[in-house]
């Protein structure tokens, strides 16, 4: 279609004059209506020869271009179309002249060179013979809307770039499913790429014990009621590992629907350090308490021994003064036996306090246990089988033979007592039946000081060291029993004084050793005693 066919002929007057110069009531009505709206409206006559003659343009066009109707027609309306949209305009006209319609956007150039974007809706009128006789339409200025949308897109792209490059893990969810994750979140949650997490339900990544509370917070976020306060919860990585995280959620609009943006910080290591610090503080307090109790026990034992010296001395003198057996002699002998038992108890208190006096000598720990092996088996033969796995060529340790024998025997008897509990079904093992338990005694050398016995309990040990290990498959201990294991006079047995493990602790202390205990309720206990090798310092 050439320009001569589509270029309108200028009217004889401006404004609403038709191409014939007459002003009819229809044009007046259109004029009044167009004055009430900022939209652009137009109509044009299509002559039988196919030429187009503008009949009417709304005043909005005159205001837009700063030109009168006559001037616009004189210049030719296609001269105002943006060069990039010329082809689109030609195709649009062809469609309208063929009896079709047009809905779309095109751009106009204003007098000052600025671009105006219009959304145009154009229609054609066909007569009874099927010939197009008129084209009319209306256009809406969407320039600002498009600019706003462009700014919004730029803002969204900037936001996406910031989010994607953020070192803080960020997850966006909508309808309880993940719709976006940044690289930091993918890495933190154990994925290789975003696709590993997209479209998953959010609660799949929350620890089962925390899902109920997390579901409530998600609903609150969608309702816009979440206060945005950080919450600590456990997340599940894709590999199944638990991630302790400080989570902050907020409400966002996601494509016209309520969504949630979650940022989280991995606090697993921080919490581990805090738990370890609290554990060490508790152990330090416990060790201080035991040390205080030891000092108190030592003081009482010394004073008690001083009194017993007088009691035993006077008893012996009284017995020497009696020549014949008399009822008095029997009472004095009974008194002496009771005083001697009291002295033994005082010695146990001194052992617990680490003030046991012994004769130090160089000893082979494996040889010492081997010498006791027969006695050990006999002592527990009704309750457990004893297996000894003794290391050879161990470095010697310096200590008192009798006191170390007492350590071995106390550990073995304590393990045997655990078998009685299992056989009786006292410790949550249900109807588990067994006739005998199993106790293993091992000795070995360790040259690696990196493994610290203070991780489990007490005292420092320097490498190289010799380790005595006693393991049983008895009833085991819960956390509270394990915590009080070395308290003097604490016992879980219906009878007994409860000084067995306390005495072991005192004797290990006296030998500058370390003691570690690992126990699981219903499965058994392992006690390790580490003694400095004679080749070490001091």
CA-CA distance, 60 to 41, in Å (whole number)?
Answer: 8
pLDDT number for residue 11? 37
* 509-527: average pLDDT: 86
pLDDT number for residue 140? 84
DSSP character string of 244-296:
EEEEEEEEEEETTEEEEEEEEEE-HHHHHHHHHHHHHHHHHHHHHHHHHHHHH
Residue 538: pLDDT over 50: no
Four-residue CA torsion sign, 444, 450, 451, 457: positive
CA-CA distance, 417 to 248, in Å (whole number)?
Answer: 52
* Cβ proximity of 177 and 201 under 8 Å: yes
pLDDT number for residue 441? 93
CA-CA distance, 183 to 166, in Å (whole number)?
Answer: 8
Residue 495 or 314, more confident: 314
Find, among 133, 187, 137, 135, the residue nearest to 164 by Cα.
187
* Cβ proximity of 386 and 377 under 8 Å: yes
Upper half-sphere CA count for residue 111 (Cβ side, 13 Å): 11
**Burial class of residue 122, CB neighbours in 10 A (0-12, 13-18, 19+):** buried
* Cβ proximity of 520 and 479 under 8 Å: no
* Cβ proximity of 531 and 407 under 8 Å: no
Planar angle of CA 518, 521, 525, nearest 5 degrees: 35
Residue 265: pLDDT over 70: yes
Per 3-state DSSP, the chain is made up of helix, strand and coil in percentages (nearest 5) of 45, 25, 30
pLDDT tens track for 270-300: 988 888 888 777 767 766 766 666 666 667 7
CA-CA distance, 64 to 124, in Å (whole number)?
Answer: 25
Q: What SS3 string covers 55-72?
A: EEECHHHHHHHCCCHHHH
- Among 56-70, 129-143, 379-393, the least confident range: 56-70
In the structure, what pLDDT confidence band is assigned to residue 420 with cuts at 50, 70 and 90?
A: low
Highest mean pLDDT among 64-73, 207-216, 377-386: 207-216
* Cβ proximity of 400 and 440 under 8 Å: no
pLDDT number for residue 322? 79
Total residue count of the chain as it appears in this document:
538
pLDDT tens track for 460-486: 445 578 999 999 988 888 888 887 777
Q: Which residues contact 335 (CB under 8 A, 6 or more apart)?
A: 311, 315
Highest mean pLDDT among 84-98, 452-466, 493-507: 84-98
Report the run of H or E that residue 119 belongs to, with start and end: strand 115-126
CA-CA distance, 408 to 369, in Å (whole number)?
Answer: 8
- Give the number of other Cβ atoms within 10 Å of residue 298's Cβ: 18
In the structure, what pLDDT confidence band is assigned to residue 200 with cuts at 50, 70 and 90?
A: very high
pLDDT number for residue 481? 81
pLDDT number for residue 120? 85
pLDDT tens track for 168-192: 898 889 998 999 888 889 989 998 8
DSSP label of 8: P
How many helices (H) and strands (E) are present in the chain, helices listed first?
14, 17
Upper half-sphere CA count for residue 348 (Cβ side, 13 Å): 17
pLDDT number for residue 8? 39
* Cβ proximity of 70 and 61 under 8 Å: no
Residue 410: pLDDT over 80: yes
Residue 332: pLDDT over 90: no
CA-CA distance, 231 to 223, in Å (whole number)?
Answer: 18
- Give the number of other Cβ atoms within 10 Å of residue 188's Cβ: 20
In the structure, what pLDDT confidence band is assigned to residue 456 with cuts at 50, 70 and 90?
A: very low
Helix (H, G, I), strand (E, B) or coil at 442: strand
Q: What SS3 string covers 126-159?
A: ECCCCCEEEEEEEEEECHHHHHHHHHHHHHHHHH
* 296-312: average pLDDT: 71
DSSP character string of 10-78:
PPSSSTT--TTS---HHHHHHHHHHHT-SSEEEEEEE-TTS-EEEEEE-HHHHHHHT--HHHHHHH-GG
In the structure, what pLDDT confidence band is assigned to residue 455 with cuts at 50, 70 and 90?
A: very low
- Give the number of other Cβ atoms within 10 Å of residue 364's Cβ: 19
Residue 460 or 200, more confident: 200
pLDDT tens track for 67-106: 777 777 777 777 788 888 888 888 888 888 888 888 888 8
CA-CA distance, 328 to 322, in Å (whole number)?
Answer: 9
pLDDT number for residue 459? 44
Q: Which residues contact 436 (CB under 8 A, 6 or more apart)?
A: 383, 384, 385, 419
In the structure, what pLDDT confidence band is assigned to residue 17 with cuts at 50, 70 and 90?
A: very low
């Amino acid at each position: 279609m050439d320009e001569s066919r589509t270029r309108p002929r200028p009217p004889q007057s401006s404004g609403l004059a038709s191409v014939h110069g007459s002003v009819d009531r229809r044009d007046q009505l259109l004029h009044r209506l167009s004055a009430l709206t900022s939209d652009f409206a137009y109509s044009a006559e299509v002559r039988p020869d196919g030429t187009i003659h503008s009949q009417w343009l709304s005043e909005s066009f005159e205001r837009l271009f700063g030109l009168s109707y006559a001037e616009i027609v004189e210049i030719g309306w296609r001269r105002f179309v943006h060069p990039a949209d010329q082809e689109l305009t030609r195709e649009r006209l062809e469609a309208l002249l063929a009896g079709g319609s047009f809905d779309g956007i095109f751009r106009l150039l204003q007098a000052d060179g600025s671009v105006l974007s219009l959304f145009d809706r154009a229609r054609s009128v066909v007569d009874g013979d099927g010939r197009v006789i008129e084209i009319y339409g209306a256009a809406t200025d969407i320039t600002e809307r498009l600019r706003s949308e462009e700014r919004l897109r730029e803002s969204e792209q900037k936001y996406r770039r910031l989010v994607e490059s953020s070192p803080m893990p960020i997850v966006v969810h909508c309808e309880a499913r993940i719709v976006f994750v940044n690289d930091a979140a993918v890495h933190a949650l154990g994925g290789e790429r975003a696709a590993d997490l997209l479209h998953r339900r959010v609660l799949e990544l929350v620890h089962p014990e925390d899902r109920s509370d997390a579901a409530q917070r998600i609903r609150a976020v969608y309702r816009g009621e979440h206060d945005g306060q950080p919450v600590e919860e456990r997340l599940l990585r894709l590999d199944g590992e638990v991630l302790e995280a400080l989570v902050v959620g907020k409400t966002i609009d996601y494509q016209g629907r309520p969504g949630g943006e979650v940022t989280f910080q991995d606090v697993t290591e921080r919490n581990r350090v805090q738990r370890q610090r609290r554990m060490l503080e508790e152990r330090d307090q416990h060790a201080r308490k035991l040390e205080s109790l030891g000092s108190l026990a030592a003081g009482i034992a010394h004073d008690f021994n001083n009194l017993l010296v007088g009691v035993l001395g006077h008893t012996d003198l009284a017995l020497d003064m009696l020549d014949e057996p008399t009822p008095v002699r029997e009472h004095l002998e009974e008194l002496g036996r009771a005083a001697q038992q009291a002295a033994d108890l005082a010695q146990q208190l001194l052992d617990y306090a680490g003030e046991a006096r012994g004769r130090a000598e160089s000893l082979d720990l494996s040889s010492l246990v081997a010498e006791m092996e027969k006695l050990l088996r006999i002592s527990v033969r009704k309750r457990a089988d004893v297996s000894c796995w003794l290391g050879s060529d161990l470095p010697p340790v310096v200590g008192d033979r009798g006191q170390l024998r007492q350590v071995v025997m106390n550990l073995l008897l304590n393990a045997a007592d655990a078998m009685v509990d299992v056989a009786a079904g006292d410790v949550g093992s249900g109807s588990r039946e067994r006739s005998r338990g199993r106790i293993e005694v091992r000795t070995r050398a360790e040259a690696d000081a990196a493994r610290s016995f203070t991780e489990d309990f007490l005292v420092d040990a320097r490498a190289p060291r010799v380790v005595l290990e006693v393991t049983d498959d008895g009833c085991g201990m819960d956390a509270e029993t394990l915590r009080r294991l070395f308290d003097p006079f604490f016992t879980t047995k219906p009878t007994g004084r409860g000084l067995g493990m306390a005495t072991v602790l005192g004797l290990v202390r006296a030998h500058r050793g370390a003691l570690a205990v690992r126990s699981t309720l219903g499965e058994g206990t392992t006690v390790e005693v580490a003694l400095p090798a004679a080749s070490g310092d001091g």
